Amino acid sequence: MLNVVLFGPPGAGKGTQSENLVKKFDLVHLSTGDIFRANIKGETELGNLAKSYMDKGALVPDEVTIKMLESEVKKHESPKGFIFDGFPRTKAQAAALDALLAENNTEVSAMLALEVPEEELKIRLAKRAETSGRVDDANPKVIQNRIDVYQRETAPVAAYYQDQDKYRGINGIGTIEDIANRLYEALEA
Ligand code: AMP
């Protein structure tokens, strides 16, 4: 299986590039943010809980997020692989993902980390707010909080994959196509 962790700060282009990777490698796309938003829309218990964290730009607790991700992974019988978009965001989530994949006799193949400077992220998120309808894109304070949470809690996850020699840094500046080609090359190398 090809199991890719697509990593990077909010606004780095994970969602956009996931679409490209899904098409190219025929993977199942699991975006924890998208799954939470679908639950909010459906007014489920999980959605109500997640919303209280997401609206502030905070992380949904590990226990809740991990349980949800596990049940999503189990929905797919013999996929070619997964692209994990926005997960793991903490070291506890990374360890849980390793354990889950190991149970299925597979593992993370690579972490592809989109690298984009903070100023550019803010410009992209403000622009995305015009069309995304996302509460957390519309407020500059929430955007700043998401970036701070990323630096504090999520960036250390990169070291987890560096230790396993699975980390690949990708320049996230350029056209969508250029960046997609960098990702393909990193996976095909
Ligand atoms: P995203 O769509 O990846 O930008 O995620 C939007 C929001 O969903 C985040 O700011 C978090 O509140 C929540 N979220 C998404 N993925 C996770 C995760 N792996 N762990 C905790 N919270 C998450």
Tell how far the Cα of 73 is from the centroid of ligand 1, in angstroms.
17
The pair phi, psi for residue 103, each rounded to 5°, is -60, -30
User: What percent of the chain is modeled with pLDDT above 70?
Assistant: 100
Q: Are 150 and 38 in contact (CB under 8 A)?
A: no
Tell how far the Cα of 143 is from the centroid of ligand 1, in angstroms.
12
- Report helix, strand and coil shares of the chain as percent, to nearest 5: 60, 10, 30
Q: Tell me, rounded to whole angstroms, the distance of Cα 109 from its chain centroid.
A: 15
Tell how far the Cα of 42 is from the centroid of ligand 1, in angstroms.
17
The pLDDT of residue 189: 84
Q: How many angstroms separate the CA atoms of 129 and 138, rounded?
A: 5
Each residue of 37-82: pLDDT tens digit?
Answer: 999 999 999 999 999 999 999 999 999 999 999 999 999 999 999 9
Q: Which domains does the chain have, with CATH numbers?
A: 2-116+154-188 (3.40.50.300)
User: What percent of the chain is modeled with pLDDT above 90?
Assistant: 99
Evaluate if pTM is beyond 0.95. Answer: yes
Each residue of 111-123: pLDDT tens digit?
Answer: 999 999 999 999 9
Tell how far the Cα of 59 is from the centroid of ligand 1, in angstroms.
6
Whole-number mean pLDDT of the chain? 97
Burial class of 43 by CB neighbour count within 10 A (0 to 12, 13 to 18, 19+): exposed
Ligand 1 atom with least separation from CA of 86: 3
How many CB atoms sit inside 10 A of residue 141's CB?
9
Q: How many angstroms separate the CA atoms of 163 and 161, rounded?
A: 5
What's the average model confidence in pLDDT over 6-10?
A: 97
The pLDDT of residue 28: 98
**Residues annotated as part of the active site:** 14, 89, 128, 134, 146
The pLDDT of residue 111: 98
Give the residue, out of 18, 31, 32, with the most ligand 1 atoms within 8 A of its beta carbon, to mutate for a pocket test.
Answer: 32
Ligand 1 environment, Cβ below 6 A: 10, 32-33, 36, 53-54, 57-60, 65, 86-87, 89, 93, 136, 146
The pLDDT of residue 186: 97
Q: How many angstroms separate the CA atoms of 135 and 142, rounded?
A: 9
